[in-house]
């Protein structure tokens, strides 16, 4: 297998391109030693996301802790984000939420890559596929494999596709020639992403507070912190602001254009009232199904509160009695945020029958806003 060398790598590159994976690079399975103290510090400062809390940092940075047989890591990028009718795209969802679930699509493509390599090198070939589902630091590996450079928003930028691409890896038991990281400062003095972030999640260049990131907030379980709700705008799942304003991602957009169309409030009401059956029928095969109906309805309630449309209050009053306490609580916030005499009346009525202490606290807060 040693003699296959660069020939095998180019065969893999050509095959990957033929199945829709035009971004490809190779790195070793060596530890990401410089990253460990960075992640430790982030955890100590509580800048990591809730999804990272149970992951062992050493294991994340040392692939051979999980795969002792690993020799090389093949890193792939799958572009996304182009729409024929850009002006009518629903901008309450991040671009990646509007396509088929990338976990599924990418994994299927990488299975084909694995099978293709096995056909070339024989039965002793061993591999493992990772697509945002195993606690390795994918972005750092992709950077080391030369797929792109880091932007100040901490995303990886490819020279051809900008930041609009998904990552996936095939960990293999054969050594392949490693690629070099891209040595460039793509951002230079630009700080558009830092200025555009509504929550201040991009603390400074190359430093992100994941717990303030709208994309992370819209996916995280539980109650959304009060101080972040208004800053979420109309985002229901994910957020593209720091990418949309970036000059490397093509046409630049103003921050205002990232928000609602005239009928946003009515789309949000539809989402709030969607049944489980309707939800699965409409969003089956997308990452929205992974998040689940409860999280999406919670986010829709917050977004509705940010529309300023008081006339919507009667259409969501019944949600103050919804079976889901998460929906009741965030609907209460929305009603309080929209405000007015009617808001105060229906909130007091809901408070009288509410049994959940956390929801009651939310209603109390909502009443204080009316």
Distance of CA 366 to the CA centre of its chain: 29
In DSSP notation, 29-61 reads S---TTHHHHHHHHHHTT-S-GGGTTS-HHHHH
Q: What residues contact residue 46 under an 8 Å CB cut-off, 6+ apart?
A: 211
Task: Say whether 132 is catalytic.
Answer: yes
By the 8 A CB rule, do 234 and 92 touch?
A: yes
Handedness of CA 357, 363, 369, 370 (dihedral sign): negative
By the 8 A CB rule, do 303 and 331 touch?
A: no
By the 8 A CB rule, do 320 and 350 touch?
A: yes
Distance of CA 337 to the CA centre of its chain: 27
How is residue 340 written in tokens? Answer: 């007015």
Residue with tokens 């802790």: 65
In the sheet that 165-172 helps form, which strands lie side by side, from edge to edge? Answer: 23-28, 72-79, 165-172, 127-130
Element (DSSP H or E) covering residue 166: strand 165-172
Nearest residue to 110 (alpha-carbon basis) of 194, 23, 190, 237: 23
The single residue of 132, 185, 256, 324 carrying the catalytic annotation is 132
Please, is 45 exposed, middle or buried when counting C-beta atoms within 10 Å of its C-beta (0-12, 13-18, 19+)? exposed
- List residues with catalytic annotation: 132
């Amino acid at each position: 297998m040693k003699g296959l060398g660069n020939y095998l790598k180019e065969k893999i590159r050509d095959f990957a391109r033929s199945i829709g994976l035009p971004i490809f690079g190779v790195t070793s399975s060596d530890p990401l030693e410089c990253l460990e103290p960075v992640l430790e510090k982030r955890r100590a400062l509580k800048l990591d996301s809730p999804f990272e809390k149970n992951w062992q940092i050493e294991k994340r940075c040392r692939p051979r802790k999980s795969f002792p047989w690993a020799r090389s890591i093949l890193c792939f990028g799958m572009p996304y984000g182009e729409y024929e009718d850009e002006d009518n795209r629903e901008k309450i969802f991040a671009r990646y939420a509007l396509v088929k679930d990338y976990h599924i699509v990418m994994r299927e493509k990488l299975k084909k890559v694995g099978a293709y390599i096995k056909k070339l090198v024989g039965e002793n070939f061993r591999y493992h596929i990772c697509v945002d589902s195993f606690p390795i630091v994918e972005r750092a590996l992709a950077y080391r494999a030369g797929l792109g450079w880091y932007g100040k928003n901490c995303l990886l930028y490819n020279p051809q596709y900008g930041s609009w691409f998904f990552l996936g890896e095939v960990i293999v038991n054969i050594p392949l020639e490693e690629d070099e990281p891209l040595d460039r400062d793509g951002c230079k003095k630009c700080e558009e992403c830092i200025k555009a972030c509504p929550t201040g999640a991009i603390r400074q260049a190359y430093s992100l507070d994941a717990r303030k990131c709208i994309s992370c907030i819209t996916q995280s379980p539980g109650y959304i912190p009060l101080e972040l709700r208004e800053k979420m705008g109309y985002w229901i799942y994910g957020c593209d602001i720091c990418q949309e304003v970036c000059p490397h991602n093509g046409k630049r957009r103003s921050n205002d254009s990232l928000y609602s169309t005239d009928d946003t409030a009515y789309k949000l009401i539809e989402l709030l009232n969607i049944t489980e059956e309707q939800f699965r029928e409409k969003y089956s095969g997308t990452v929205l199904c992974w998040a689940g109906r409860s999280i999406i309805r919670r986010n829709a309630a917050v977004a509705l509160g940010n529309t300023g449309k008081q006339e919507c209050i009667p259409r969501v009053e019944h949600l103050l009695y919804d079976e889901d306490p998460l929906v009741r609580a965030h609907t209460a916030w929305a009603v309080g945020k929209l405000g007015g005499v009617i808001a105060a009346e229906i909130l007091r009525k809901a408070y009288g029958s509410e049994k959940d202490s956390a929801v009651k606290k939310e209603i109390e807060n909502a009443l204080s806003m009316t």
